[in-house]
Chain A
Amino acid sequence: MEGNNIIQVRNLCKSFGNLQVLNDISTDFKEQQVVSIIGPSGGGKSTFLRCLNLLETPTSGKVIFNDVNLCSKDADINVQRQKIGMVFQHFNLFNNMNVMKNLTIAPMRIKGKSKEEAEEKAIGFLKRMGLEDKATSYPAQLSGGQKQRIAIVRSLMMEPEVMLFDEPTSALDPEMIGEVLDVIKQLAMEGMTMLIVTHEMRFAREVSDRILFLDGGKIDEDRTADEFFDDPHSPRLISFLQKVL
């Protein structure tokens, strides 16, 4: 289980104007580790995740991905982002493209894959999800759960080294949460490195090697999954768990 560090975060700070959202965060993420990030709304979870692929530019500090400092001017962020998949709360499938196009456009345009190769791979994924009949549907014709599973596949098509999930089930109707969590669990079993912001406590405990509690822009607790729930130290985490469990 212990792999190399894939992401190293050093003294990461992020402010929006006068509002300091991330306050000097340093931590490492190892290959094949599944790390969940839990915390109250507004605590900076999304901002933290978005700093890791520079959708937000850190105010100071470093994000080192595979020995490349993403914040430095020399790093080609567009190339690095290809290796960092991201799944959003609101899916963000490309609305102007059907499912097949959503899945194949990036491998074809960015990685230079042939249409045949990309489509074959896409069909493989769709079959595994039981969504092969949706290849020509547009996002507006899909349910939330279907959209999110397609969005996950869209990221996987780029063969990322790490996947970031920002509350992947928060916008879903309850009956669709399971199908999306199952896909993520499957990825965890296959050894995908993942960072998951979630409010699904049972799922987090089940799937994670490690859980972070992010509150007030700081990592307030950083433990294995079982310790996180059974033996929390931080008073804020204790009161948070009392509220949500």
Chain B
Amino acid sequence: MGFFEQIAVIITRYYPYFLEGVKNTLIIAAMSVVLGVVFGTLMAIMRMCRIKPLKWIAMAYIEFVRGTPLMVQLMFIFYGLPMVGIEFPDVSWIPNFSRFMAGIVAMSMNSCAYVAEVIRSGIQAVDEGQMEAARSIGFKYGESMKLVILPQAIRNILPALGNEFVTVIKESSIVSVIGISDLMYGTNGVIALTYRSLPCLAIAACIYFVLTFISSRLIAMLEKRMKHGRK
């Protein structure tokens, strides 16, 4: 049987494994990015605020998360936290809920640090003259941010957030090591059943690529729409 025939056979027989994996990968990536953006925004605000201790905490967190492997962070959350008495509860109607939670928490804590940097650099890329003009005309700091700075910063931030989503889709493959049935986990399952690792991995690679390619196309479209009418 040739390589492509093998792929065809594996897909027809085992597609539910891949589908289940895609579903979970997308759930984890979407949840992680949403939480990452929410907490990343808070982290960015802390990072830029004038209260020194908050600023330092945020800086330390961001540096630490960006300076350590995601694998280590995931292990730390999954194995480490229960040892100090923090456990994610099990929910009877969602299988493997506690594993899922650990995966999502680790991914979003990681993403949060990157998002915070994306937001901070997006805001700092706005010309300082914009803030000065807004303040000099009588706007308060918060209003200047809301009316002038953030609308401009968003246009720097959104494309970078899109890239972050693409990154998270790829990186999320790591949660399979703690037994979350994501695409990588499903792929490993099919390999164990068929002993055909190469075709299985080829299928997984194609699916990951399609997911990231579609995501980045969607983001590019969104970007284009936002640029409409002005430079």
Contact = CB atoms under 8 A, between A and B. Distances in A.
A112 to B, nearest CB: 12
Given A90-B129, A94-B130, A94-B148, A155 B137 contact: yes
A180 to B, nearest CB: 17
Nearest to B231: A140
A161 B89 CA distance: 65
B148 A96 contact: yes
A109 interface: yes
Which of A55, A95, A151 is the most central at the interface, judged by chain B CB atoms within 10 Å of its CB? A95
A192 interface: no
B231 A88 contact: no
Which of B129, B133, B147, B230 is the most central at the interface, judged by chain A CB atoms within 10 Å of its CB? B133
Interface string B202-217: 0000000000000000
Given A96-B151, A96-B152, A109-B147, A78 B133 contact: no
B86 to A, nearest CB: 44
B92 interface: no
Contact of A158 (B130, B137, B147, B151): B137
A115 to B, nearest CB: 15
Nearest to A93: B133
Contacts of B161: none
A135 to B, nearest CB: 14
A113 B132 CA distance: 23
B160 interface: no
B178 interface: no
A138 B133 contact: no
Contacts of B134: 94
Interface in B131-190: 132-140, 143, 147-148, 151-152
A154 interface: yes
A90 B133 CA distance: 10
B137 A141 contact: no
Interface in A56-90: 78-79, 81-82, 84-86, 88, 90
Given A109-B143, A138-B231, A94 B136 contact: no
A105 interface: yes
Given A109-B147, A140-B231, A95 B138 contact: no
A224 interface: no
A110 interface: yes
A92 B130 contact: yes
Contacts of A81: 135-138
Nearest to A164: B136
Contacts of A110: 137-139
A53 interface: yes
Contact of A82 (B133, B137, B231): B137
B147 A88 contact: no
Interface in A11-49: none
Nearest to B229: A138
A141 B229 CA distance: 10
Contact of A92 (B132, B140, B230): B132
A81 B229 CA distance: 32
A73 B127 CA distance: 29
A9 interface: no
A91 B152 CA distance: 17
Given A96-B152, A140-B230, A105 B140 contact: no
Nearest to A110: B138
Given A85-B136, A91-B129, A109-B143, 6 more contacts: A79-B138, A92-B133, A93-B133, A94-B134, A95-B152, A109-B147
Considering the complex of A and B, which 8 residue pairs feature the smallest CB-CB distances, nearest first? A82-B138, A92-B133, A92-B129, A140-B231, A86-B136, A96-B151, A138-B230, A81-B138
Interface of B: 127, 129-130, 132-140, 143, 147-148, 151-152, 229-231
